[in-house]
Chains A and B, each alone.
Chain A
Amino acid sequence: GNSVTQMEGPVTLSEEAFLTINCTYTATGYPSLFWYVQYPGEGLQLLLKATKADDKGSNKGFEATYRKETTSFHLEKGSVQVSDSAVYFCALSDRTGGFKTIFGAGTRLFVKA
C-alpha cells in the first residue's frame, strides 16, 4: 500500500542553520504530497503542498519539490529560527477506497538560539 518514510529525529540545529528533512514515498498513481507541522501545544497544520511532479511547494521560507524520479519530497529551509521548533510530518494523498491522507512518523526539530 501507499506509505511515507521520513528521517528519524530529533534534529537539533543552531539558529540560522540550513535545514533538510528527508521524505520518500511509495504510491501507485500520482498522489499529492504535503508537509504538515505541529507547533508545541497546537494542532497539526498544513505547511505546504505539491500536486504534481516537479511542483515546488513553499511557505514561511520552507520549500519542498515533488521528485517523481526519486519518489521524494524533502523539506528545506535556508535559515531556521527558534520559532521553527516543531514536529514536521510528510504526507501523501491516497485515493484508493475513498480519499485519505497518509502521514509519516514525524520528525522533531529543535532550534537553539
Chain B
Amino acid sequence: ETGVTQSPTHLIKTRGQQVTLRCSSQSGHNTVSWYQQALGQGPQFIFQYYREEENGRGNFPPRFSGLQFPNYSSELNVNALELDDSALYLCASSLGPGDDSPLHFGNGTRLTVT
C-alpha cells in the first residue's frame, strides 16, 4: 500500500507571500490531519478533515486554511506568511477521525520564510 506523501519536501518563501502544501493520504484513509512542528518541538495540531469537511481546528489563525478532495488528498494553505511560520508541516492520514485509528504521517514539508 502507498503511504502518505507530501509535496514539496522543501520550500522557501518571503514574508507576506502565500503557500500551498499538498498531501496524498494512505490508500483507504478518509481522514487527514495537519500539524506544524517547530524545531525541537512536538507537532502542533492545525486542523483535521474528514470526508471533505473540517472536523476540528487547533489554535491557529484563519490565514491557515485547508481543503480535502473527493479522493481524500488534502491541501494546507497559509496566507500572509510570517517569519514564525517557518517549520516542518506534517500531514497524517487515518482510517477515521477517532482514536481507534492511528495516525500515519508523511515525511513533511520544510517551510522557510525569509
Residues of A at the B interface (CB closer than 8 Å) are 4, 31-32, 34, 36, 41-46, 49, 51, 89, 91, 93, 95, 97-106
Contact = CB atoms under 8 A, between A and B. Distances in A.
Contacts of B66: none
Interface of B: 3-4, 33, 35, 40-45, 48, 55-58, 90, 92, 97-100, 102-108
B86 to A, nearest CB: 18
Contacts of B33: 100-101
Contacts of A89: 42-43
Contacts, number: 67
B98 to A, nearest CB: 6
A93 B33 CA distance: 13
Contacts of B35: 103
Given A43-B104, A89-B43, A99-B55, 9 more contacts: A4-B42, A34-B102, A46-B102, A51-B99, A51-B100, A97-B57, A100-B56, A101-B45, A106-B40
Contacts of B57: 97-98
B107 A93 contact: no
19 contacts: A36-B103, A42-B107, A43-B108, A45-B105, A46-B102, A49-B102, A51-B99, A51-B100, A98-B48, A98-B55, A98-B97, A99-B56, A99-B97, A100-B48, A100-B56, A101-B33, A101-B103, A103-B35, A106-B40
A37 to B, nearest CB: 11
A105 B104 CA distance: 19
A43 B4 contact: yes
A50 B41 CA distance: 23
Given A98-B55, A98-B57, A43 B107 contact: yes
B56 A103 contact: no
Contacts of A34: 102
A45 B40 contact: no
Contacts of A103: 35, 42-44
